[in-house]
Amino acid sequence: MKPFLTCAAAASLGLGGCMAPAPAEDLPAMLEGTCNAEPLQSHIGHKASAASGAELLRLAGARTLRWVPPRSAVTMDYRADRLTVSYDDDYTIVRISCG
């Protein structure tokens, strides 16, 4: 009985490779609002605030803003529509990037 189960398991694993890939239309489309942090680098050294965040978001063309306080961990997932702004203990912007 054991050899039969082993053969059945191996055959079912092998058949998994015969599946057709998902059609392209089923895949999620890229989000609009692609971020561009390049023109924002002149804002490094400015104070972080709600007003500056709104302005940076508008200038970057991004859809979401992620503030990164000092000594904080952030996820490494990349999102083309997200602007990430890091600041120090004095609320001074130290890094501006997309993702």
Residue 61 has pLDDT above 90, yes or no: yes
Reported as a pLDDT band with limits 50, 70 and 90, residue 62 is: very high
Query: What is the tens place of the pLDDT at every residue in 3-45?
Result: 655 555 555 555 555 656 655 554 444 445 689 999 999 999 9
User: Is the whole model's pTM more than 0.95, yes or no?
Assistant: no
Range of the domain at 94: 34-99
Q: Determine, yes or no, domain membership for 47.
A: yes
Q: What is the mean pLDDT of the chain?
A: 82
Mean pLDDT of 50-71: 96
Q: How many structural domains comprise the chain? A: 1
List the CATH number of the domain containing 91.
Answer: 3.30.10.10
Residue 44 lies in a domain: yes
Q: CA–CA separation, 90 vs 48, rounded Å?
A: 9
Average pLDDT of the residues in 44-65: 96
Q: Residue 46: which of 97, 95, 82, 99 has the closest Cα? A: 95
| Separation of alpha carbons 69 and 94, rounded Å | 10
Q: Are 98 and 82 in contact (CB under 8 A)?
A: yes
| Cβ atoms < 10 Å from Cβ of 72 | 8
